[in-house]
Amino acid sequence: MKVVKFGGSSLASGEQIRKVFDIVMADSERKIVVVSAPGKRYADDIKVTDLLIQCAEAFLEDKASKELEVELVLQRYQIITDELSLTSDIVNQIKRNLLAALNRDQTDRAQYIEAVKACGEDGLAQLVAAYFSFRGAKAHYVNPREAGLIVTSEPGNAQVLPESFAHLNRLKERPGIIIFPGFFGYSQSGEVFTFSRSGSDITGSILANAIQADLYENFTDVDAVYSVNPNFVEEPKEIKELTYREMRELSYAGFTVFHDEALIPAFRAGIPVQVKNTNNPQAPGTRIVSTRENANGPVVGIASDNGFCSLYMSKYLMNREVGFGRKVLNILEDLKITYEHVPSGIDDMSVVLRQDQLNPEVEQEILTRLKQELAVDEVKIEYDLALLMVVGEGMRRNVGTTARASKALADAEVNIEMINQGSSEVSMMFGVKVIEEKRAVKALYEEFFVRSEYITLR
């Protein structure tokens, strides 16, 4: 039994949904189909989720354009319906549900937007189910509330509650193909709450865990997960197999195939994940597993992300001061600031932060408190950093990986601002200036994927 999830680009038009139908019907083990909201049809298009957010904000502000915003959303569904030769009954149902969400109580702004956002996936799941039935398949739409997908009351960051898995397990007893909307669930009080962006991946992972699926297939618009960002390197190598830990590290550091939390439910149940291409379903794709043979060298992938800053502080004999690190993090906690990494030495310490959490007032308060409360000798914030992540389970058993990476960056004349290796030894992080990000990634790729292959061939 398989759970199959299709992303927004796979569902953006009637032509794409026909491909989805053919893929699902080609394998009788594909029991549950999780759908996203319609994505972009072309580069400058707007995702339906973004249209819905604009729509919700227009209603909250009572803009004159609010009716037009509704029509823009409904047009997307009407076009798909026409392309699939379905009747307008399904669009009328989508319209009723959307208007019900838009005309609900607006007292809780965040909750209001949550309910409207969820209409994207919910409406398309109903449309896809109607199309499957139109084509003669035994398929039906299932709402997350009916199925028992219960989540925490955290707008945009809902977490599945443990009791959900027993409820959702009963889905495997239902006949036919289940079409299930991704991205949202219901709180214990019956309100809609969404997962983080790309949350349909999370829904698919939860359902795979709940029914103890043999495989979770995630269909997107690429043939496989690549070893590096294709925008940085032409024709990068495909990754045939990687572990959950490697995928999570790569996702955190900028890979866009999965949100870094998406696979946790599947991982906990030991369910393998197969990434495949809706537009080329014959391609083998990438398999994500608990463990794998490390036959492809120490590094499986290189990722990068930017928008970071480093809070650097130094103090003589810092290493002998009990509680110093805790006090630094307490100051950040007081200001509701999260941190990413904490590389340190005996007399200095850096805290890597997402810089969009700071503004001039917050920055000044951090600097003032560190000087007054911890009496640091020096403190400064360095902005516009990119973090490069070199990832691979094989690094734990391979000597010299750090030296190779450092030399590759030096040869490319990239200055390393910081280095940090995770305690799991699955990843190694380098901090560089944003303007050097692309050059640094290309240098690391050349070292671990091009030069290594050349040496092997010799």
Tens of pLDDT, residue by residue over 390-431, are 999 888 777 788 899 999 999 999 999 988 876 567 889 999
Q: Say whether pLDDT at 289 is over 80.
A: yes
User: What DSSP element (H or E) covers 24?
Assistant: helix 14-25
Identify the band that residue 187 occupies on the pLDDT scale cut at 50, 70 and 90. very high
Q: What are phi and psi of 430, to 5 degrees?
A: -120, 135
Q: Is 70 helix (H, G, I), strand (E, B) or coil?
A: helix
Tokens coding 284: 């083998």
* 45 lies in the same domain as 187: yes
* 58 lies in the same domain as 184: yes
The CATH number assigned to the domain holding 203 equals 3.40.1160.10
The mean pLDDT of the chain is: 93
**Rounded Cα gap, residues 285 and 347, in angstroms:** 47
Q: Say whether pLDDT at 380 is over 50.
A: yes
Per-residue DSSP letter, 230: T
* 316 lies in the same domain as 206: no
**Rounded Cα gap, residues 288 and 120, in angstroms:** 28
* 349 lies in the same domain as 439: yes
- Considering the domain boundaries, does residue 407 fall inside one? yes
Q: Which of 201, 221, 241 is the last residue of a domain?
A: 221
* 11 lies in the same domain as 159: yes
Full residue range of the structural domain in which residue 61 is found: 2-221
**Rounded Cα gap, residues 411 and 432, in angstroms:** 14
The CATH number assigned to the domain holding 371 equals 3.30.2130.10
- Considering the domain boundaries, does residue 131 fall inside one? yes
Q: What does the pLDDT read at residue 422?
A: 65
Q: Count other Cβ atoms within 10 Å, centred on residue 194.
A: 25
- Considering the domain boundaries, does residue 228 fall inside one? no
Annotated binding site for ATP, which residues?
5-8, 220-221, 226
- Which whole number is the average pLDDT over 211-225? 94
- Considering the domain boundaries, does residue 415 fall inside one? yes
Annotated binding site, which residues?
5-8, 49, 121, 220-221, 226
Q: Say whether pLDDT at 283 is over 90.
A: yes
Nearest to 358 by CA among 376, 321, 377, 385: 385
* 197 lies in the same domain as 56: yes
* 318 lies in the same domain as 211: no
Q: What is the pLDDT of residues 332-378, one digit of tens each?
A: 999 999 998 898 889 999 999 999 999 999 999 999 999 999 999 99
- Considering the domain boundaries, does residue 191 fall inside one? yes
* 213 lies in the same domain as 352: no
- Which of 43-52, 167-176, 291-300 bottoms out in mean pLDDT, i.e. has the lowest? 291-300
* 195 lies in the same domain as 306: no
* 135 lies in the same domain as 7: yes
Q: What does the pLDDT read at residue 456?
A: 46
Annotated binding site for substrate, which residues?
49, 121
Q: What does the pLDDT read at residue 135?
A: 97
- Considering the domain boundaries, does residue 266 fall inside one? no
The whole model's pTM is what?
0.86
Q: What is the pLDDT of residues 302-315, one digit of tens each?
A: 999 999 999 999 99
**Rounded Cα gap, residues 429 and 402, in angstroms:** 10
Q: Say whether pLDDT at 260 is over 90.
A: no
Q: Which of 221, 237, 258 is the last residue of a domain?
A: 221
* 40 lies in the same domain as 171: yes
* 202 lies in the same domain as 313: no
**Distance set, CA 153 to CA 117, 148, 160, 429 (Å):** 15, 15, 10, 34
Q: Is 216 helix (H, G, I), strand (E, B) or coil?
A: strand
- Which whole number is the average pLDDT over 161-170? 97
- Considering the domain boundaries, does residue 232 fall inside one? no
Beta bridge partners of 183: none
* β-pairing verdict for 348-354 and 301-314: antiparallel
Q: What does the pLDDT read at residue 50?
A: 96
Number of domains into which the chain is organized: 2
Residues 6 or more apart in contact with residue 389 via CB below 8 angstroms: 249, 250, 252, 253, 254, 302, 303, 304, 427, 428, 429
- Considering the domain boundaries, does residue 227 fall inside one? no
Q: Which of 192, 221, 250 is the last residue of a domain?
A: 221
